[in-house]
Amino acid sequence: MLTTVTGLVIAERNYGENDKFIDVLTAEYGVIEICVKGARKIHGKSNSASQLFAYAKFCFSSRNDRYYLNSSELIKVFYGIRLDIKKLALAEYFAEISRYCVTTGQTAKDIMSLFLNSLYFLSEGTRSCEFIKSVFEMRFLSEIGLLPQLIGCRDCYKYEAEEMFFMVDRCCLLCGEHFYGRGFEENYYHIRLSGSVLHTLRFICLAEMKRIFNFRLGNESLAQLNEVTEKYIVSRLNRSFRSLEFYNSVCRPTSAAETDSDENLT
Ligand SMILES: [Zn+2]
């Protein structure tokens, strides 16, 4: 029996002389592994649709608990990613997180939208890598049920205060009064947030998926947002990722080209 599914290739592994396995992120079945026979022959069928970060329609059969590609039809390739080592490294980081957290059989419609939108903005270059990385990290965690408590101070529910602290290790906010009142100090996990970063975190986690890339943030705030989201994802998933280390090793300081000094959310 043949099954047809639309999905995004998020990993590929060579197998034997001419074959390979691809991991495909799908809305209906989570991440599935498909064997592509003859994929590495020069004129192999399905070459373009089975390459990394191809978005395509896959038709496959199932034998002995394994899926075999029958045919495929390319929908989109994000060419801009392949021309830039930093963008490629970031896309591979998103792929590694997804393979780690999304299992076969679970539905992943929103994660799929998040991934495709992130690749679109990366490829087009209309948002910086730093911006896309933070949006992906925070929204991904929200989608898998690891949303931090961002509504207000954990103790008094204050929505805004002169000082607000994000407690990475406790997944919550504390206002200055309760932060100091409980004897906490600023450190690696206890970060005093600027008002715009707090607003942005709420926006990324809670706004409609189609709107979450629609904001601008100044360089200083973006740097703090990056600090918060990376610490939070590493802390919540309780591990680092080789692709994240690689991404950080190729990162240069933030380019001002794609960020505004205006800090208004739209
Ligand atoms: Zn409080």
Measure the CA–CA gap between 170 and 235, rounded to whole angstroms: 10
For residue 60, how far is its CA from the centre of ligand 1 (angstroms)? Answer: 55
For residue 256, how far is its CA from the centre of ligand 1 (angstroms)? Answer: 35
For residue 181, how far is its CA from the centre of ligand 1 (angstroms)? Answer: 9
pTM above 0.75, yes or no: yes
**What mean pLDDT do residues 246-250 have?**
95
Asked if the model's pLDDT at residue 259 lies above 50, the reply is: no
Q: pLDDT tens across 183-222, in order?
A: 999 999 999 999 999 999 999 999 999 999 999 999 999 9
Measure the CA–CA gap between 175 and 165, rounded to whole angstroms: 6
The domain 80-266 is classified under which CATH number: 3.40.50.620, 3.40.640.10, 3.40.50.1860, 1.20.1440.120?
Answer: 1.20.1440.120
Domain segments of the chain as ranges: 2-77, 80-266
Q: In Å, how far are 116, 131, 195, 196 from 191, measured between CA atoms?
A: 31, 19, 12, 14
For residue 163, how far is its CA from the centre of ligand 1 (angstroms)? Answer: 10
Closest CA to 31 of 112, 133, 118, 92: 112
For residue 102, how far is its CA from the centre of ligand 1 (angstroms)? Answer: 35
Q: pLDDT tens across 34-80, in order?
A: 999 987 776 666 678 899 999 999 999 999 889 999 999 999 999 89
Around ion ligand 1, residues with a beta carbon closer than 5 Å are 153, 155-156, 158, 175, 178
Neighbours of 155 (CB within 10 A): 15
Q: pLDDT tens across 117-138, in order?
A: 999 999 999 999 999 999 999 9
pLDDT of residue 262: 44
* CATH number given to 2-77: 2.40.50.140
Asked if the model's pLDDT at residue 256 lies above 80, the reply is: no
